[in-house]
Amino acid sequence: MADTFALTPELEAAIGQASDPWTYEVTTTSVRAFARGVGYTDPVYFDTEAAKAAGYRNLPAPPTYLGTPIFIPGRSDDTFSSPREGQPRVAHGLKNVLDGGTEVEYLEDICAGDTLTGVSTIGALDIRDSKALGKMLIVSMDTKYTNQHGRVAAVLKSQVIFY
């Protein structure tokens, strides 16, 4: 637990920095794996015939699933599978991490066969006090996912808590 933690100019320099683009794949196998992980029983997320009967061009990405980032050892984060290379760095030195909140805005349908290109930008850094966890740093990040047709398919806003 951190008793004192302050935003330094070095940390604040990360605000507004954008990542390099990274590829997120949406495949029949990845959609099934995500749907199975959540515990869906709806065949539309597993059976391509059921998906087509429901009006989709292929298995639809379940809500909140925005593709699987291509994993490359050394270039990807071994814990979270997200890209590490070309990402803005917030060198806060805090050890523990919790999720704060998530929002996805959908602009296009996302189905198996789609390839999304994600670019993340650090929107804000905030410090809050928690009785249980001490000083917390909240990193707000926006990620824009552009599909293979060059259209923005989804925008993810996430808040991650470090303490």
Partner 1 sequence: MAVDWNTIREGDELPVLKKKPSVTQLVKYAAGSGDFNPLHHDFNFPQSKMLKSIIVHGRFKYAALGELVSNWLGHRGRIRQISCQYRGMDFPDREVTCGGKVARKWEEGGRKLVQLQIWTENDEGKKTTPGQALVELR
Q: Which stretch binds partner 1 (CB under 8 A): 5-13, 77-85, 112-120, 123-131?
A: 77-85
In whole angstroms, the minimum distance from the beta carbon of 150 to partner 1 comes to 20
Instruction: Kindly state the tokens that stand for 116.
Output: 């999304």
Cα 5 from chain centroid (whole Å): 26
Our finding on whether 68 is near partner 1 (CB under 8 A) is yes
Q: Which residues are within 8 A (CB) of 103 and not within 5 positions of it... i.e. 6 or more apart?
A: 156, 157, 158
Of 21, 100, 113, 134, the one binding partner 1 (CB under 8 A) is 100
Report which residue type is found at 6. A
Compute how many residues bind partner 1; rule: CB under 8 A: 39
Of 89, 101, 124, 130, the one binding partner 1 (CB under 8 A) is 101
Q: Which residues are within 8 A (CB) of 160 and not within 5 positions of it... i.e. 6 or more apart?
A: 97, 98, 99, 100, 138, 139, 141
| 9 vs 114 by CB, closer to partner 1 | 114
Our finding on whether 35 is near partner 1 (CB under 8 A) is yes
Neighbouring CB atoms inside 10 A of 14's CB total 16
> Which residues contact partner 1 by CB under 8 A?
30, 33-40, 42, 44, 54-56, 62-65, 68-69, 71, 78-82, 96-106, 109, 157
